[in-house]
Amino acid sequence: MKKSALQKARAAYQPKLPIVLTGAVKAVTGNPTESVADQDEIKKLFPNTYGLPELKFEKNSTPAPNKPINVGVILSGGQAPGGHNVICGLFDGIKKIHRDSRLFGFLMGPGGFVDHKYIELTAPIIDEYRNTGGFDIIGSGRTKLEKEDQFDKGLEILKELDIKALIIIGGDDSNTNAAVLAEYYKKINAGVQVIGCPKTIDGDLKNDQIETSFGFDTATKVYSEVIGNVQRDCNSAKKYWHFIKLMGRSASHIALECALQTQPNVCIISEEVESKNQTLQDVVNYIADTVARRAAEGNNFGTVLIPEGLIEFIPAVKKLIAELNDLLAAKAEEFAAAGDAAEQRQWVIGQLSAENAATYESLPLGVARQLTLDRDPHGNVQVSLIETEKLLSEMVAKRLQVMAEEGNYVGKFAALHHFFGYEGRCADPSNFDADYCYALGFNAACLINAGVTGYMSSVRNLVKPSVQWIAGGIPITMMMNMERRNGELKPVIQKALVRLDGAPFQKFASQRADWALNTCYVYPGPIQYFGPAEVCDQPSMTLRYEHQSK
Amino acid sequence: MKKSALQKARAAYQPKLPIVLTGAVKAVTGNPTESVADQDEIKKLFPNTYGLPELKFEKNSTPAPNKPINVGVILSGGQAPGGHNVICGLFDGIKKIHRDSRLFGFLMGPGGFVDHKYIELTAPIIDEYRNTGGFDIIGSGRTKLEKEDQFDKGLEILKELDIKALIIIGGDDSNTNAAVLAEYYKKINAGVQVIGCPKTIDGDLKNDQIETSFGFDTATKVYSEVIGNVQRDCNSAKKYWHFIKLMGRSASHIALECALQTQPNVCIISEEVESKNQTLQDVVNYIADTVARRAAEGNNFGTVLIPEGLIEFIPAVKKLIAELNDLLAAKAEEFAAAGDAAEQRQWVIGQLSAENAATYESLPLGVARQLTLDRDPHGNVQVSLIETEKLLSEMVAKRLQVMAEEGNYVGKFAALHHFFGYEGRCADPSNFDADYCYALGFNAACLINAGVTGYMSSVRNLVKPSVQWIAGGIPITMMMNMERRNGELKPVIQKALVRLDGAPFQKFASQRADWALNTCYVYPGPIQYFGPAEVCDQPSMTLRYEHQSK
């Protein structure tokens, strides 16, 4: 297999471990824990794994004699930079426990576990993937692991391979399912430990115990690199407004981090839009005002960052989508029979509540129509198909026309559009993510050796140099609360949205007026691996501001 | 102004100069030159600057006493990484000639020259921009400098500022205009030298004398970084075909270089499509066949690189566009009055020649309609608005449906789309471009000192370490031939298209069958500035293969 020069050079990088994990360790046990909310319900649902103590690893003077152990690993959900290093750390960790330990990787996500598709991950394979991006070592998938027959089916292959511990690398949903699986295996005395690892570029799996999920650092650095490049182009040509949509539907951490790194003229934060009960037109007016104020100073150019999930956070649009989902599920045939596009539109308006009909009529024709067409297998609107960046620039152009007629805008408005997502999910991990992921995997091996189940691998103190990081385990039930999902109340890990009272947002909010009017672009450039520490080893600004505020 | 850590670290980089330029130099004169073609016509149009000799700089034992000189500089056309370093090299070069030399930058391109908008580029300003991307130091613009009244208007400000030499940094058109300006100033004895610098990310300004234009190296490395990341994602999820359009309308050098760096499953080269007289459907069939052959092996994923200019290279589409431009210019009102979209379509089909009508009918409805709508200020179809990546994937999907019905395809086809362009034009220059640009600018100062005009700054031997580079000047008329542009025969620098008998294309062609069926992705990763030389200092593969074949 042909490799680039960087692939070859990067293969030699030795990720740094927390000093505590470099020798023999002992697990120090804290007090029993409680879930963040709904303690009674969670406790009832997890009788065997609720209330476990936090664990922290400390140096041990005498290494314990250890036996070989067979371990399975699953990559679950969307790719995130560093996944390979979790697996490499895990491999090195179980080999350190005993050189006859073996690691099995289930193929293409949880589906491979249920269907018994796997490979053994041997040293030559592992060495091919050290410090690389992507999940291609075993692939990933989105099969949800949540039913007992799946658990039983998986247990067959675990027994066959004599696997005593399963590591699930995934986001909040996958780790929720890891906890359910741990509880089930404990209940039936399956003799299999289940450990989770916090993965997601979206940054929405974090809490008092988990400082950040892996992949967020690298992905936001890649997006910030290309946003910076686009901003430099914007500031050179001085004739375009660039509308840049960023991946991440359920929270705006990515957009916020990129804004902190690049200082665009506008960045929309979905959580703020929702909290202020803003309409789509409010968002449009805000952008148009910024365009007009810059134009008044002769600057007919700028940049706007838009989180992919914006549309779903706008309260009025959210209500409209909910009613449309119900309406079109109930009366699909009547809708189809209503006639051509214009007649279908009229039919929809007639059926909707007055409030939602008004929202529907306020949307550009194309978007309104899209909301009534493509539906996912559950019959829901496919919001991800809406090109929010084009929708916004189109509405901004219309608004500017009105403002021009009213004498409130003189300028030229030309827009270009970008969507950054797939560019960052499989990038080579930054030094931070390479170290963090390797530590998470190595630490997971220590948790296996400590005999626990239902824990998430935890590495903390991340703003400090990696040797000072703190390693241990957090009971997953501790992060849970009850939430309604698809109409059912379920125990889930609380999703971390952008906190409007948090330090990262506050920092952004205190500077955005300056960034809007003046041109304060910062150009982060590409991720560097070999240079000075201040260039190569800095964690995300989100993490740094959150840490400073503690 | 806030700066990123990389911006700060990179500011300290000292670009390497060819060894010959580090001390006192003398210009060694070669034989008189001829233009590449149409010698009589070119000679007649450039009586004062035709036939000049090539120049090569060599070390001089005794530095000549020098006087201060005032120089003007213009950035012309699209941004390219390294433009700032050309200006920094020029600044350092004229300061080395005499510390009282002064540099003036005309603002926002040739327009600033004609309109007398400029700033003096002093040391503090220059130091802010060393080794940075973008053209924001003075901005760029697309005003064409080709009329004598513009030349006269510009001369006023040159006289006012006592500027004795003008440096034009631009692509083939801008350098053509530089030659015309040099000839004019020579003719009227204006006492102003004009020197060009070869800029364009497109890579189509090169010839026997100019090995590459600056910016191509960095831009293609940025595109290859993100293509590599997308490929890693593709190979991890194994469920999408990624259609990736790459900037560059007039030649496919960018797509070819990126293909050599990343080894995608498919890369279309416009020059080959044209040379083989292929239709759009031929291109679609080729992609669909590749999809089907991969699907037969269970691989329902892949990557396709598409040069932005593809559509205009397809002979049948080119003919259709030409007739449509004439037709709609002549009968705009009749078209408008033909009725709704369907009726207008029928009207167009009725008016076109049989051959072009057939091509028109073979296009997807949306694209066909687009060809009759948006027009540029000259009344021409705006081909750049056609989303070729979506057009192709839509046609491939249709073709696969037919193949499935015929029993020739079993698989799933889901496509994602990307366009990479603005991400690369203003990236921080690679070490190669940082050095090359600095040398081009410094060398331009030497050309000024040598008293010549109508030359392009030339730095050669680029696959060798930069200290071994050869510096000199090439008479621009030497690169010219006569071509029809907008209906008129004009002297222009011959544009360098991808040569199908050239080493880069041959290398690609010899491997693409393997890349198509097997998954041979290479992941170049981000540009590195501080690491080992084999990672940081390699020129483009195009340049390396071209050099090897010499």
Structure ipTM: 0.96
B220 touches chain A (CB under 8 A): no
**Mutate: best of A1, A2, A6, A538, partner B, most B CBs <10 A:** A6
CB-based contact A534 B9, cutoff 8 Å: yes
**CA nearest B424: which of A257, A431, A418, A519?**
A418
pLDDT in tens, B158-174: 999 999 999 999 999 99
Helix residue ranges, H only, B196-314: 216-237, 253-262, 270-275, 280-296, 310-313
B377 CB near a chain A CB, below 8 Å? no
Instruction: Tell me the mean pLDDT in the region B136-159.
Output: 96
B346 touches chain A (CB under 8 A): no
Within 13 Å, how many C-alpha atoms sit on residue B357's CB side?
10
- Catalytic site residue from A92, A172, A173, A202: A202
Pairing relationship of beta strands A193-198 and B455-460 according to DSSP bridges: unpaired
Nearest to A426 among B222, B229, B530 (CB): B229
Q: Look at B530 and A535 and tell me if their CB atoms are within 8 Å.
A: yes
- Strand order of the sheet with strand A415-420? A266-267, A302-307, A241-246, A415-420
* B11 close contact with A: CB closer than 8 A: no
Q: At what angle do helices B503-517 and B253-262 cross, to 10 degrees?
A: 50
Residue B143 is predicted with a pLDDT of 93
Is residue A53 within 8 A of residue A29, CB to CB? The reply is yes
User: pLDDT, tens digit, for every residue of B382-393?
Assistant: 777 789 999 999
Contact check, Cβ <8 Å, A132/B3: no
Average pLDDT over residues B365-378: 79
What's the rounded Cα separation, in Å, for the pair A218 and B251? 33
Q: Which of B10, B423, B529 sits opposite A230 (nearest CB)?
A: B423
Query: Look-up: residue for tokens 């009788």?
Result: A47
What is the mean predicted confidence (pLDDT) over B184-200?
98
Q: In whole angstroms, what is the distance from residue B172 CA to residue B213 CA?
A: 10
pLDDT < 50 positions in chain A: none
User: Which of B92, B173, B202, B433 is labelled catalytic?
Assistant: B202
Among A181-195, A381-395, B136-150, B404-418, the minimum mean pLDDT is found in A381-395
Per-residue confidence (pLDDT) for residue A432, from 0 to 100: 98
Burial class of B19 by CB neighbour count within 10 A (0 to 12, 13 to 18, 19+): middle
Q: Find how far residue A386's CA is from the centre of its chain.
A: 20
Cβ neighbour number for residue A75 with a 10 Å cutoff: 34
Amino acid identity, residue B521?
A: Y
- Choose among B362, B363, B368, B418: nearest CA to B390: B418
- C-alpha angle with apex A550: A549 to B2, nearest 5 degrees? 30
CB within 8 Å of B429: residues ≥ 6 apart: B81, B82, B84, B85, B131, B132, B133, B214, B215, B218, B437
Nearest to A479 by CA among A200, A196, A249, A82: A196
**What residue in A sits closest to B424 (Cα-Cα)?**
A229
CA dist A537 and A292 (Å) reads 40
Give the distance from residue A526's alpha carbon to the nearest chain B alpha carbon, in angstroms: 6
- Entry field: residues in chain A: 550
Question: Which chain B residue's Cα is nearest to A524?
Answer: B4
Residues of chain A positioned with their CB less than 8 A from the CB of B418: 422-423
Cβ-based contacts of B233 with chain A (< 8 Å): 79, 134, 422, 425-426
Instruction: Verify whether the Cβ–Cβ distance B229 to A524 is below 8 Å.
Output: no
Residue of B8, B143, B233 to mutate, interface with A, max A Cβ within 10 Å? B233
Cα-Cα-Cα-Cα dihedral sign, residues B499, B504, B509, B512: negative
Q: Within an 8 Å CB–CB cutoff, is residue A142 touching chain B? A: no
Nearest C-alpha of chain B: how many angstroms from A395? 20
Cα gap A219→A75, rounded to integer Å: 18
Beta strands in A299-454 (DSSP E): 302-307, 415-420
Rounded to whole angstroms, how far apart are CA atoms A203 and A211?
10
User: Which of A140, A520, A525 is nearest residue B4 as measured by Cβ atoms?
Assistant: A525
Q: Which amino acid is at B49?
A: T
Q: Is A40 a catalytic residue?
A: no
Q: Which residues partner with B388 through β-bridges? A: none
Whether the pLDDT of residue B319 is over 80: the answer is yes
C-beta atoms of B233 and A530 within 8 A: no
Q: Which residues of A touch B238 (CB under 8 A)?
A: 108, 139
Kindly identify which residue of chain A lies nearest to residue B528, measuring between CA atoms. A528
pLDDT at site B367: 84
Mean pLDDT of the residues in chain B: 95
Q: How far apart are CA A438 and CA A96, in angstroms?
A: 14
pLDDT at A378: 65
Are A534 and B16 in contact, with CB atoms under 8 Å apart?
no
pLDDT > 70 fraction of chain B, expressed in percent and rounded: 99
Q: Is the pLDDT of residue B544 over 80?
A: yes
Residue B280 pLDDT > 70, yes or no? yes
